Amino acid sequence: MTRFDVKILGCGSAMPTTLHNPSSQLVNANEKLFMIDCGEGTQLQMRKFKTRISKLHSIFISHIHGDHILGLPGLISTLNILGRKMDLNIYAHKEIEPLLLSALDFFCPHLVFQVHFFPLNADAFEQIYENKSLRVCSFPLKHRIPTCGFLFEEKESLRHIKREMIDFYQIPIKQIKEIKSGADFVTPDGRVIPNEILTSPAKPPRRYAYCSDTAYCPDIIPYIEGVDALYHEATFAESEAIRAQQTFHSTARQAAKIAKAANVKKLILGHFSSRYTELDDLLREAQSVFPDTLLAYEGMDIVL
């Protein structure tokens, strides 16, 4: 099975603390690294957790608040010093493009690789990237400025053909791909062998969703329905529900309500306010609604 996991680099909020770094995480899909958000200090976190910076493929920025993007110039500068050859794709709201390009002109005037900027649309669900085994989509969250959630999903893989059936029916090699794709087999004497007898189902594609920053927003439920893991912001405890509403953030309980309604397999809470030095209350609050809840922490691995 190909690799598909997530490493949390930072799960704090606007004001970093000694406990939590600003937002960033790395999705490793088949040994390609896809970064989600890049707060200040992200490159240091990558070093700390010994992630392979050379595998970094693309960067997806949920929204252009500083705690989600200020690590970008330093990271790109370091990639440049390291002599990166591969292009780097950055997906973010279009408004940041001029400032980002100015910053790169200033701080990385002699870039040895190409940076491609792709504007995100925070108004609709859209596929924004795909390769042969992975698809990334963005969808609208509900924050003070245009903000995207991200859905990483494996593509459907082919059904598994049973070795003993190949031997028994003497299936020619050239027909195997069709059968893996769902075709029946017709024997030389005209008998139809149904596909279900020849194959076993592929593993269901794994899916990961990132939702930060956002107010409580049931509109996202269709996009994240049944994902293997949902990272959802929980900036506040329910006792700060009014503050959460005012600042377009969620409480831990609200994150759990979304997880429950979307019938996800696992919820990971993150984007914790700096006011919380310990997070047990947030965890209990969420678990009372959705038991399969975990707290994010810097260095956490979410294996899908």
The residues annotated with a catalytic role in the active site are 67
* Residue 126: CB minimum distance to a second copy, A: 24
CB 215 to a second copy: min, Å: 19
Contacting positions for a second copy (CB under 8 A)? 14-18, 21-22, 40-41, 43-44, 47-48, 64-67, 70-71, 73-74, 77-78, 81-82, 96, 99, 102-103, 106-108
Rounded Cα distance between 90 and 20, Å, is 24
| 16 close to 39: Cβ distance less than 8 angstroms | yes
Shortest Å, Cβ 249 to a second copy = 14
Which pair of tokens denotes residue 82? 């390291």
Least distance (Å) from a second copy to the CB of residue 272?
15
Residue 39 or 140 having the CB closest to a second copy? 39
Cα separations in angstroms, 65 against 17, 68, 125, 287, 294 = 17, 6, 21, 29, 25
Tell me the C-alpha distance between 231 and 208, whole Å: 8
Closer residue to a second copy, CB minimum distance, 71 or 140: 71
Minimum distance between the CB of residue 115 and a second copy, rounded to whole angstroms? 15
In DSSP terms, which residues pair with 230 in a beta bridge?
209, 267
- Closer CB to a second copy, 45 or 199, in the complex: 45
The rounded distance, in Å, linking the Cα atoms of 232 and 141 is 11
Nearer to a second copy, 102 or 200 (CB): 102
Residue 107 CB, shortest distance to a second copy, in Å, is: 4
**Residue nearer to a second copy on the CB measure, 108 or 262:** 108
Residue 73 beta carbon to a second copy: minimum distance, rounded to whole angstroms: 6
Q: 78 vs 133, which CB is nearer to a second copy? A: 78
Indicate the residue among 68 and 142 with the shorter CB distance to a second copy: 68
